[in-house]
Amino acid sequence: MIGWISAVDHKLFYLVNRSLECDLLDTICPILTLPLFWLIPLVLMLYLIIRSEPKKGLTWALLLLVLFAVSDFVSSGLLKPFFARFRPCRTLPDVHLLAYCSKGFSFPSGHATNSSAIATFSFVLKRKTISVILIFVALLVSFTRVYVGVHYPTDIFFGWAIGAGIAYGFIKLFKLIEGKMRPK
């Protein structure tokens, strides 16, 4: 079973990384994979939350920053060393590499985990406009990680799932704590 999944993962990787290769994507994908690209929507979200509900917004903004730190720690600090999966740019031949090939591990994608956690957070809070933007950014950033040659599609898929799970659990935990702290 694992061999079959790995074979499909490699085929999908090459489909995105080699078959879609073109000058336009070669130009924009290295830019879109930079942290600045997904930090801008994060800062925008923080601003909109604080502006719309100053008191509650500060609490949610702080929670969002903690969520980001937790999702990054879980993906990069715990799971990557545990699974120790080498990046495609280190293990596969003929990778169309357009970004630095880190010596760090690839599973799960930290970019996918973090952007998914933030998008899920926004979606669960019913922030429609910013949620659409953040989901689009998460998908775009995730695509670029495969296109530039540093992640397998399963790194992305599981990064999304892990990020969404962390965000959902975080919000549930916060609401539980918030409910117990309210005066009765």
Q: For residues 38 and 32, give the distance between their C-alpha atoms in angstroms, rounded to a whole number.
A: 8
Give me the pLDDT at residue 32, please. 87
Give me the pLDDT at residue 180, please. 62
pLDDT class for 157, splitting at 50, 70, 90? very high
Give me the pLDDT at residue 131, please. 79
Residue 1: inside a domain, yes or no?
no
The label of the residue with tokens 């599609």 reads 153
Q: How confident is the model over 14-35, as a mean pLDDT?
A: 91
Residue 28: inside a domain, yes or no?
yes
Where helices occur in 73-127 by DSSP H, the ranges are: 80-83, 88-91, 110-124
Q: Decide if 130 contacts 79 (C-beta within 8 A).
A: no
Q: How confident is the model over 59-84, as a mean pLDDT?
A: 90
Q: How confident is the model over 62-71, as a mean pLDDT?
A: 88
Q: Which two tokens stand for residue 75?
A: 């993906």
Residue 27: inside a domain, yes or no?
yes
Nearest by Cα to 135 from 153, 160, 156, 152 = 160
Question: How many contiguous H segments (helices) and E segments (strands) does the chain have?
Answer: 9, 0
Residue 11: inside a domain, yes or no?
no
Q: How confident is the model over 99-118, as a mean pLDDT?
A: 92
Among 4-13, 38-47, 142-151, 175-184, which range has the highest average pLDDT?
Answer: 142-151
Q: What is the mean pLDDT of the chain?
A: 87
Three-state DSSP at 127 gives coil
Residue 111: inside a domain, yes or no?
yes
Residue 34: inside a domain, yes or no?
yes
Count CB atoms within 10 A of the CB of residue 146.
Answer: 25
Give me the pLDDT at residue 53, please. 76
Q: Decide if 102 contacts 94 (C-beta within 8 A).
A: no
Report whether pLDDT(130) > 90.
no
Q: What range defines the domain where residue 152 resides? A: 22-181
Contacts of 6 (CB under 8 A, 6+ apart): none
Residue 2: inside a domain, yes or no?
no
> What total of structural domains would you count in the chain?
1
DSSP state of 18: I
pLDDT digits (tens, 9 = 90+) for 161-181: 999 999 999 888 877 876 665
Nearest by Cα to 46 from 36, 61, 59, 35 = 61
pLDDT: which is higher, 33 or 112: 112
Contacts of 58 (CB under 8 A, 6+ apart): 50
Residue 129: inside a domain, yes or no?
yes
- Cα 82 to chain centroid distance, Å, stands at 19
In degrees rounded to 5, what are phi and psi of residue 64?
Answer: -60, -40
Q: Decide if 126 contacts 52 (C-beta within 8 A).
A: no
